[in-house]
Amino acid sequence: MTTWKEKLADQMPEEWAREIDIFEKQMELRRQGKVEEKLFAETRLRRGAYGQRYDNGKRNDGTGAKPLDYPSGDLTKGPETVWDAPGMQRIKIPFGGLNPEQMDVLADLAEEYSDAICHVTTRQDIQLHYVHFDDTPTIMRRLAAVGITTREACGNSIRNVTACPLAGVCRDESFDVTPYAQATMRFMLGHPDVQDFGRKFKIAFSGCRQHACGLVSLHDVGAIAVTKEIDGEPQRGFELYVGGGLGAVPQQAVLFDEFVAEGELLPITQAISRVFARLGEKRNRARARLKFLVKKLGVEEFKRLVLEERKTLPHDDAWTAYLEELPSYGEKALKQAEPLAAGEQAQRFERWRHTNVYRQRQEGYCVAAVTLPLGDLTSHQMRALADIARRYVGESVRTTVEQNIVLRWVRESDLPALHAELEELGLGEPGAESIVDVVACPGTDTCKLGIASSRGLAAELRERLASKQFELDQAVRDMRIKISGCFNSCGQHHISDIGFYGVSRNVGGYAVPHFQVVLGGKWVDNAGSYGLPIGAVPSKRIPDVVTVITDAYLRERESGESFQAYAERVGKKALKEKLSDLTKVPSREEDVSFYSDWGDPREFTIGDMGAGECAGEVVSLVEFDLSLVEELVFEAQLALDAGDLEAVTEKTYRAMLQGAKALVKMQFHDVADEPDQIVAEFKQRYFDTEIFFDRFAGGKFANYLFRRHESHEQAASRADARELIEEAGLFVEACHTCAAKVGSQPGAAEKTSSDSTVVTLEI
Amino acid sequence: MSHPIEDLQRISVKFPLAMGCEPELDGVIPVFHRWIQDRAVDGMLIDVADYAHVPQGPGVMLIAHEGNYALDLDRGRLGVLYARKQPLAGDLEQRLAAVCCAALRAAELLAGEGEQFRIAGDQLEIAANDRLLAPNDADTDSAFRPVLDRLLDRLFDGAAHELCRDEDPRERFNLHVRASSGADAATLRQRLA
Ligand code: SF4
């Protein structure tokens, strides 16, 4: 019987084929127990084969934790990751660029090995879920045959290189960043200098400063296209930023250089990689991203080291070889430009055109956005879309960071026919890049770290908003909602007008899904500012939160005022007050629906939590204490808004101390209000016993407290103060989780291991 | 020489719902969760995947290690689907029958949840979820039809049936079956037992 490997042998790039063979051999060695599981996990991740929820062989089915008896038994593909458990395959799509042939193959793979869904991610990748690990080499070969690699899609490596989906056709760009993104991807892929990172490394390109498309500020390396006159000649280059990132403690990228000439782009990126590999943190994953190194060294020192490194790099022709091809680079339109026929069009078309069509710089052509609900499209839709692309635009298709797909170079006269075909497929909905186009990470659907159902909430919000989108005021329609299932921020909640991330709260001994409401983020200006949480609201009341906030904005805004400007003017305190009624959780007897999550009728749980009556009382006391602590963190935010960094420093420290004290009180009620004693008791009772530990991140959150207790250094800048707030917020969340755990397991204080779900992991 | 389709394992079968049966997809979510608790259908049941938000999508799926069950809406056609992923014992006809039985068992249980879940009982859609063993071409068709005909004779108790295939070579090998008379899910399943 012929295999895919034999069938595709001539179609795969030799190097890629060899790498996949090696991966397959490593799988075999792991099966034989000849490769250590941690090492194998990193190998697997670097091929984009990721774990998925319940792959530890356990699941709470609503009546309690039940074993999932996968036939592979004890065989694992990583720590606590059962071989046979379904996983996720991430597929890198550099700058989101796809051609119809690739779309066909993605459709086939989703159908044959996954659940017939291609999921577009917030970093322009495609993900397939519920994939059996044994199928991954075949998936990789079939992708390689059409020029797609999954290499370094996950793991401590350079992830997908992203870029504006409008690059090359944008009316505002300095120049098309596509060939630079492509060259960077090709040059860095598998490069020896990027194999020894302590964490992942993300690169993005933007064509201009003012729009959000590239989201440069939240990347490890972000490049904005600029031109500069040198010796009377315009020269291309990049305003280069470093050290950005979201995650638990987000950081805005800082300016590395105002102008890195195009010929220096690759060597400087290589030098940055070398410095990161050499000096970046390796042991403590929680502080291993480039942002921590840049912060530790200061950007000036970091830059000095990079430039020193640059001088020592052996010359590589690949740095500039691609520049010679630039003049001939560019997409060609499939059809001759033609204006849209005059006359009245159907209302549905006009609405779609209003929200989903962008007029290109090139006269007579448009970019049409295909709105994908939650980033999902079926195999059939993907294949049909490939056909549509062939007939209307040729090769010009891209995924977007807002989890949509765009068709570029659509001639205007084709728009009505194109829309009609999309409608046939169920892909002709309006509302792209609007409040309806809710972005969500996988959350509890498939992510191991998810706390609450981000996709369930997103689907609910989307349905409610879609039905009335054209009744909404334009100012509201232009807002964005982004949702993460936990604080790790894969749904990019920090950079939306209204962001949410999943948390859990204990009410009367029961876990209740909540979302923290994050306000103040900015999508425009390349994700120009990050929002902060103002308080947690029960998941089932989040649709009301959206209504209250948008209504207040419409009622109270000044003429032409953006939502960010409005939120800043009225202040977080006033906005939080508007939500105060929504924070209450009815008892189970009054409304049991609050105790399960969206789209999931099981009783909500963040582990195997029970409802011991005795524990319930203890937990309610500690929860009360912790709610006061949350107030302190919120006050710290207000202090930040007022520019009072001293108060931020003091309040965040006090919040962590009080959080620790609340936990200590669960075991030792008479603990004094004296910092040294609180910290010592907390350390002895919760840290040394590892009760406070997180399964993946260990003592990370406790270390926030210990560090602050040792050094009373005041926040030197707004960025520092922000970080203190984020850390205090995460410490309090960890206290909530720990309290729930201790409360649900009488005697857990004596245990030495933890099953906390407040975790951070490579995403 | 035998055709590679003889080795086919990844088989997907969908029994369309009866005319007028248009249940809310969301309604099946608690049902599938209950099936996991009760181990109501065969397989190691893992989780429920909700794709109700996807137009013309896979609806709501019950993910199992051996194969996925779904109240499926692909291409706008509602039906009860079983897509086998792991190998089955027996020859192709036996494997086809096993996959049909799994889908029919799910259909039978769903019918017990309400009239809106009733299958038409005179139709089914079969797809070979493996483009290597079963490319969508005439060769596969001629190798597969005799096997399928034998199965359909049993399933529809000798009633005449029509087959039609979407011949797009990029599609999975597929056949849509319509019989001149049908039966409910339980009866159909008994005929294959
Ligand atoms: S880690 Fe958290 S934010 Fe990231 S995908 Fe999982 S649930 Fe979403």
The CA distance from B130 to the nearest CA of chain A, in Å, is 6
**Ligand 1 binding pocket mutation candidate from A52, A438, A488 (most atoms within 8 A of CB):** A488
- Identity of residue A415: L
Number of domains in chain A: 5
The CA distance from B53 to the nearest CA of chain A, in Å, is 6
Give me the residue from A53, A85, A378 closest to B57, CB to CB: A378
* Domain annotation covers residue A491: yes
Q: Is the C-beta atom of A51 inside 6 A of ligand 1?
A: no
A445 and A310 share one domain: no
A424, A449, A476 — which closes off a domain? Answer: A424
If you measure from the C-alpha of residue A249 to the centroid of ligand 1, how many angstroms do you get, rounded to a whole number? Answer: 14
| Residue A621 pLDDT > 80 | no
pLDDT (0 to 100) of residue B179: 97
Q: What is the mean pLDDT of residues A257-279?
A: 97
CATH number of residue A171's parent domain = 3.30.413.10
A424, A450, A479 — which closes off a domain? Answer: A424
If you measure from the C-alpha of residue A454 to the centroid of ligand 1, how many angstroms do you get, rounded to a whole number? Answer: 9
Give me the residue from B52, B68, B170 closest to A115, CB to CB: B68
Cross-chain residue pair B74–A112, CB shorter than 8 Å: no
Q: Cβ contacts (< 8 Å) between B63 and chain A: which residues?
A: 86, 115, 130
Q: What is the ipTM of this complex?
A: 0.97
If you measure from the C-alpha of residue A119 to the centroid of ligand 1, how many angstroms do you get, rounded to a whole number? Answer: 15
Q: How confident is the model at residue A618 (pLDDT cuts 50, 70, 90)?
A: very low
A600 and A616 share one domain: no
Q: What is the mean pLDDT of residues A688-710?
A: 88
A412 and A497 share one domain: no
A440 and A583 share one domain: yes
pLDDT (0 to 100) of residue A133: 98
B45 close to B62: Cβ distance less than 8 angstroms: yes
pLDDT (0 to 100) of residue A612: 27
CA distances from A625 to A146, A532, A617, A621, A630 (A): 57, 22, 13, 6, 9
A553 and A453 share one domain: yes
The CA distance from A61 to the nearest CA of chain B, in Å, is 6
* Domain annotation covers residue A270: yes
| Residue A757 pLDDT > 50 | no
Q: Facing residues of A65 across strands?
A: A60
pLDDT digits (tens, 9 = 90+) for B79-137: 999 999 999 999 999 999 999 999 999 999 999 999 999 999 999 999 999 999 999 99
Task: Record the tokens describing residue A272, joined without a space.
Answer: 């940055």
Q: Does B40 touch chain A (CB under 8 A)?
A: no
Report, in angstroms and rounded to the nearest whole number, the Rg of chain B calculated over CA atoms.
Answer: 16
Q: Is the C-beta atom of A246 inside 6 A of ligand 1?
A: no
Q: Does B26 touch chain A (CB under 8 A)?
A: yes
Q: Is the C-beta atom of A447 inside 6 A of ligand 1?
A: yes
A602 and A628 share one domain: no
The domain in which residue A59 lies consists of: 4-144
The domain in which residue B182 lies consists of: 4-192
A585 and A545 share one domain: yes
CA distances from A617 to A506, A585, A596 (A): 11, 17, 21
pLDDT (0 to 100) of residue A326: 87
CATH number of residue A748's parent domain = 1.20.120.330
**Ligand 1 binding pocket mutation candidate from A486, A493, A694 (most atoms within 8 A of CB):** A486
A620 and A708 share one domain: yes
Q: Does A6 touch chain B (CB under 8 A)?
A: no
pLDDT digits (tens, 9 = 90+) for B42-54: 999 999 999 999 9
B88 close to B53: Cβ distance less than 8 angstroms: no
Listed in sequence order, the residues at least 6 apart from A194 whose beta carbon sits closer than 8 Å to its beta carbon are: A152, A157, A158, A188, A201, A273, A277
A86 and A188 share one domain: no
pLDDT (0 to 100) of residue A605: 84
A620 and A706 share one domain: yes
Q: Does B47 touch chain A (CB under 8 A)?
A: yes
Give me the residue from B26, B49, B130 closest to A112, CB to CB: B130
The torsion angles phi and psi of A415, rounded to 5 degrees, stand at -55, -45
Q: What's the pTM?
A: 0.88
The CA distance from A392 to the nearest CA of chain B, in Å, is 19
Number of domains in chain B: 1
A547 and A416 share one domain: no
A270 and A312 share one domain: yes
Scanning every residue of chain B, which has its alpha carbon at the shortest distance from the alpha carbon of A113? B85
* Domain annotation covers residue A336: no
Q: Does A644 touch chain B (CB under 8 A)?
A: no
- Identity of residue B119: I
Q: Is the C-beta atom of A697 inside 6 A of ligand 1?
A: no
Q: What is the mean pLDDT of residues A438-465?
A: 93
A424, A458, A475 — which closes off a domain? Answer: A424
* Domain annotation covers residue A656: yes
pLDDT (0 to 100) of residue A739: 84
CA distances from A100 to A382, A393, A553, B43 (A): 9, 10, 43, 37
Give the E-state strand segments of A621-743 in sequence order.
Answer: none
| Residue A359 pLDDT > 80 | yes
| Residue A460 pLDDT > 50 | yes
Kind plus residue range of the DSSP H or E element containing B46? strand B45-51
Give me the sign of the Cα torsion angle A130, A132, A135, A140: positive
pLDDT (0 to 100) of residue A745: 54
Q: Is the C-beta atom of A492 inside 6 A of ligand 1?
A: no
Cross-chain residue pair A62–B37, CB shorter than 8 Å: yes
